[in-house]
Amino acid sequence: MRVIVIGRKQLMKITAMIMGLIFLLFSAIFIDTDAMIISRFPMKNKIIIIDPGHGGIDPGAIGVTGVLEDEINLQIALKLRKLIEQSGGIALMIREDDSGLYSGGSSRIREKKNEDLRERRKMVNESSADIFISIHLNFFPQSQYYGAQCFYNEGDEEGKKLAELIQAELIDVIRNNNTRKAKSIDTVYILKNNKMPSVLVECGFISNYEEERLLKDEKYQEKLAWAIFMGIMKYLEGESLKI
């Protein structure tokens, strides 16, 4: 058997080479770690502010069997919050129960509603949030209309991107032959002049018998929350690629 004798200097050189290779290997593994984390976990540390529409003295639309819009809005919003928090994001809720954002100083219902809207928008723009989502239900006198639809403020290009992604997820997840598209609008106060991409999601028509029945169902609410969540995730994934 041939024995190879390595001198001390050679051994030190070989050891240095091995240590150098180990260093390069670990550098390759951990290089740009923050970018890797952001791309794999786009929701991490992102702040999403969620507005369950109406509440308190304002129930919103009333369904064909008496279901109140504000209650369904809140249930969907709470499910969305859970998904955001489970994925490492921070979810801020404008309301967590059946209450409105108005003081006792206002006596008229219209004054209370106006104060409520002002306070909501104030909360949104003081939140330092990355994204704003307002959850509502649609209503139309004719009961044949159905389907979820997203709205963004006219001129909000990032809001448009987000709305289109959420709309695509709603169509893909719900699968009810919905052909609606994300739409710009300039008459929704809560969406105007916000500091972050903002989308109002009409989760369905409470004036449609079948859709109202579905909107009351917890599993269906989970599907809606999941679709909104996935739209947000895809938007954030796109943002992470810009880093």
Is 207 within the bounds of a domain? yes
Q: Is the pTM of this model over 0.85?
A: no
Is 30 within the bounds of a domain? no
Specify the pLDDT at position 109: 84
* Per-residue confidence band for 16, with pLDDT thresholds at 50, 70 and 90: low
pLDDT digits (tens, 9 = 90+) for 170-181: 999 999 999 999
Domain total in the chain: 1
Q: Which domain holds residue 60?
A: 41-240
Is 18 within the bounds of a domain? no
Q: Judge whether 175 and 224 are in contact, CB under 8 Å.
A: no
Is 12 within the bounds of a domain? no
Is 5 within the bounds of a domain? no
Is 112 within the bounds of a domain? yes
* CA pseudo-torsion sign 184, 186, 189, 191: positive
Which of 11-15, 86-90, 109-113 shows the lowest mean pLDDT across its residues?
A: 11-15
* Per-residue confidence band for 9, with pLDDT thresholds at 50, 70 and 90: low
Is 157 within the bounds of a domain? yes
Is 11 within the bounds of a domain? no
Mapped onto helix, strand or coil, the DSSP state of residue 134 is strand
The enclosing domain of 185 has a CATH number of 3.40.630.40
